[in-house]
A = this chain, B = another copy of it.
Amino acid sequence: MSDVKVKVGILGASGYTGAELVRILAHHAAAEIVLLTADRRAGRPFGEVFPHLAHLNLPTMIRIDEADWSNVDVIFCALPHGTTQEVIAGLPQHVKVVDLSADFRLFDPATYKEWYGAEHAAQDLQKEVVYGLTELHREKVAKARVVANPGCYPTPAQLSLTPLLEQKLILSQDIIIDAKSGVTGAGRSPKEGILFAEITEGIHAYATGGHRHAPEIEQGLSWAAGDDVIVNFSPHLMPMSRGILESIYVKLADGVTPEQIHEALVKRYEGEPFVRVLPFGTTPQTRHVRGSNFVMFGVVKDRVPGRAIIVGVEDNLMKGASGQAVQNMNVMMGLPETMGLELEPLFP
């Protein structure tokens, strides 16, 4: 490893994805954190906001407008959706960017407007952005200056369905994605709906049939299918901090068996360090990827003929956000892709 480390800044460091970036980068052999911003908590040490990391030697959090970009090579942008477009558009050109917000994930400005209710504020920049689902777009990520890090829900959905659609093993109609998520996906800003007493010992559906990650999933699947794909995407909120499980119900193309689907995934992800496909007929648990950058898939035969079920899991803060963001940074900077990410799952 080179002695010259990549100088990293994190914008919006006081949220859960910010803390997760710090946790990963603290032991990254070729990166060093030189900048942390947090508008509301500017001036405070990071360890006050996240006491579990108070022992690390980190810069004090500042406001974005106080940042000195000359000393920064890469920015992770973990700002709230909506404020990001202007911030990134205003950065000097030498700064590479991995954006964890939703602001650059939808490549069609009309779709963006439909789902976010406002004109995209950086449409020119959008054109040079690369969608950072690393395993699927690795070559483009390697050359990108600005990467849109995928949403938590779209990551397992696209990883599993993309090869199957590309190879026409499944139909592009009637794809149903029933997702179950932990609550850190909703962030750290206090809201009644994510209080402990409102979440523990129960589950509920939300944004059924109308979640903002639906168009992102559809965009990726349409790329894969070469055709407009519309999916049913139904998320549920459940009592866990981290983790997403997606139960994906698909129709097999004529003559295709569930075993063939499984085989296609096995082949596609052979040698991928973070994607694990379980033996046919078995399914993964969210708790088996917690704290790691792994995504795991299982394929099961459906009781209904001509159908199959794919179950995928990830840690939404890792492969679903900060882990994949560091993976993308590694690719962008020509570093080994797994650097800093060799973190085992924490179970139980």
Contact residues of A with B, CB < 8 Å?
16, 19, 23, 26-27, 50-55, 173-174, 176, 178, 180, 182-184, 188-192, 194-206, 208-210, 214, 230-234, 236, 238-243, 245, 247, 249, 276, 283-292, 294, 298, 300-305, 307, 309, 311, 342, 344-348
Contact = CB atoms under 8 A, between A and B. Distances in A.
Question: Lowest 6 CB-CB distances: which A-B pairs, in order?
Answer: A202-B287, A190-B190, A204-B285, A52-B288, A197-B348, A52-B345
A288 B205 CA distance: 13
A257 to B, nearest CB: 14
Nearest to A198: B348
B346 A200 contact: no
A347 B307 contact: no
B196 A239 contact: yes
Contacts of A287: 52, 198, 201-202, 204
Contacts of A198: 196, 287, 348
A304 to B, nearest CB: 5
How many copies of this chain?
A: 4
B183 A197 contact: yes
Given A174-B174, A208-B300, A247-B178, A241 B344 contact: no
A242 B239 CA distance: 13
A346 B176 CA distance: 32
B232 A302 contact: yes
A186 to B, nearest CB: 9
Contacts of A307: 174, 232
Given A26-B344, A196-B239, A348-B242, A283 B233 contact: no
Contacts of A303: 209-210, 214, 230-233
Given A209-B300, A245-B203, A195 B194 contact: yes
B236 A201 contact: no
A274 to B, nearest CB: 10
B245 A236 contact: yes
Contacts of A285: 51, 202-204
